[in-house]
């Protein structure tokens, strides 16, 4: 074989390797909503078979899924952490903690890390859910952990942010904010950024936990920060979205949403767009450079979820019980899914994850739903039987009432 042909073959092999779905499918999901921009998206492997289904637990699902190798990992308020096959919705394993699981898992290597309202941070084997170690904090954990360089960072309702060694569960450092930390941390350079219920956004040194700066908002910061180009973006219960310079903690701009912003921002790095929801039901698109509004969409209830980005669309849920898929450029509705059919509505406070053409999201009805974005459909939920049964009962009662009335008229 001549040198030219060898080069062509080598180039072809490298291209195939880079394009291999295994490289994408095996990527870690090491923080809330997958990355520092909260895009919540992964490509499907080529051999993935997408189907719509739902999986039921015994408690509300507010935890957002982490995805790895065709498996979704998430928590439920029934206290379990679940691993579910994404192709058919079957359970692979579950593990019972001693409290509701609102925290969203992070995955790195062979382990997932998740907090529970029992106050423990768990390290679990992704193959079977076996616990490698658990670390006890001083209160419930609602914050979602972040993994970087074998250190787990997570907040606790005891007011502290913890740095835990992933190998053995020992504490490296902690920082006390003075109030509950429900916000999930993000790292940018050498700084860890996180909000607290004391109303502040903190920048901490990732190696020591020493405070670099703090920025004070007007109320609790339950929203989880997103970062891009030396700026951190975060919402506050004071109703504003803040853009803060990471270098020194000075304000770049803020935007008043009108109601508390528990939703965590999602950033489209290709379009200088930031997407964030508020308790007034607004999903708003802002320009990351100056905070100017590009568009807004009004949902059927408060929007506490963080949108996922898929192609030219974003996906988010609302307390009105609907999952919305809207055009990311103009805010026009593409399609929506309501498992309660607009009659039996349960809030959707789990932030959706997108896996190729599939959308995965939990709901307060205790079910985890798989939706097909290309076909614009989802599974027929159990509520259709409840609604159908109720309709039959109502018709039966009406017929009985009519029979009784007719009988009464004949007797007269």
Task: Read off the tokens for 375.
Answer: 């076909």
Residue 261 half-sphere exposure, CB side, CA atoms within 13 Å? 32
φ, ψ of residue 8 in degrees (nearest 5) = -65, -45
Find, among 342, 388, 346, the residue nearest to 367 by Cα. Answer: 346
Alpha-carbon torsion 181, 350, 275, 312, what sign? positive
The span from the CA of 363 to the CA of 372, in Å, is 17
Instruction: List, for residues 42-89, the tens digit of each pLDDT value.
Output: 998 989 999 999 999 999 999 999 999 999 999 999 999 999 999 999
| pLDDT tier, 372 (very low <50, low <70, confident <90, very high otherwise) | very high
Q: Is the Cβ–Cβ distance between 193 and 206 less than 8 Å? A: no
How far is 79 from 93, CA to CA, in rounded Å? 14
- The model carries a pTM of 0.87
Average pLDDT over residues 299-314: 97
66 forms beta bridges with 73
The residues with which 107 forms a beta bridge, in sequence order, are 112
Strand (E) or helix (H) holding 400: helix 383-411
Give the pLDDT band of residue 340 (cuts 50, 70, 90). Answer: confident
Within 13 Å and on the Cβ side, how many CA atoms surround 395? 6
Instruction: Report helix, strand and coil shares of the chain as percent, to nearest 5.
Output: 10, 40, 50
> ∠ at Cα 307 (306, 309), nearest 5°?
140
């Amino acid at each position: 074989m001549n040198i030219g042909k060898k080069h062509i073959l080598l180039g072809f092999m490298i291209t195939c390797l880079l394009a291999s779905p295994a490289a994408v499918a095996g990527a870690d999901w090491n923080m809330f909503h997958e990355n520092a921009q909260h895009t919540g998206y992964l490509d499907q492997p080529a051999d993935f078979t997408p189907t719509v289904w739902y999986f039921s637990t015994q408690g509300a699902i507010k935890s957002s899924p982490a995805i790895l190798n065709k498996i979704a990992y998430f928590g439920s308020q029934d206290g379990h952490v679940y691993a579910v096959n994404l192709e058919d919705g079957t359970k692979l394993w579950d593990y019972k903690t001693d409290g509701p699981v609102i925290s969203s898992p992070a995955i790195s290597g062979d382990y997932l890390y998740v907090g529970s309202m029992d106050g423990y941070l768990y390290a679990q084997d992704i193959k079977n859910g076996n616990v490698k170690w658990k670390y006890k904090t001083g209160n419930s954990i609602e914050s979602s952990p972040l993994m970087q360089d074998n250190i787990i960072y997570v907040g606790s309702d005891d007011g502290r942010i913890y740095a835990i060694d992933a190998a053995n569960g020992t504490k490296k450092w902690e920082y006390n904010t003075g109030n509950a930390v429900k916000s999930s941390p993000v790292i940018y350079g050498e700084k860890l950024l996180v909000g607290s219920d004391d109303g502040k956004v903190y920048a901490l040194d990732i190696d020591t936990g020493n405070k670099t700066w703090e920025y004070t908002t007007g109320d609790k910061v339950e929203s989880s920060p997103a970062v891009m180009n030396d700026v951190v973006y975060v919402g506050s219960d004071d109703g504003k979205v803040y853009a803060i310079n990471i270098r020194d903690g000075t304000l770049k701009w803020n935007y008043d949403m009108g109601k508390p912003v528990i939703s965590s921002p999602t950033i489209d790095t290709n379009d200088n767009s930031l997407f964030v929801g508020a308790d007034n039901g607004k999903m708003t698109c802002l320009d990351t450079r100056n905070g100017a509004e590009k568009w807004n969409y009004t949902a059927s209830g408060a929007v506490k979820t963080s949108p996922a980005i898929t192609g030219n669309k974003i996906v988010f849920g609302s307390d009105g019980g609907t999952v919305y898929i809207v055009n990311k450029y103009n805010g026009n509705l593409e399609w929506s899914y309501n498992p309660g059919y607009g009659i039996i509505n349960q809030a959707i406070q789990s932030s959706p994850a997108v896996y190729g053409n599939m959308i995965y999201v939990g709901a307060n009805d205790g079910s985890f739903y798989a939706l097909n974005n290309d076909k614009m459909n989802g599974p027929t939920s159990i509520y259709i039987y409840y609604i159908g049964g109720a309709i039959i009962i109502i018709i039966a009662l009406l017929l009985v009432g009519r029979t009784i009335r007719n009988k009464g008229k004949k007797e007269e």
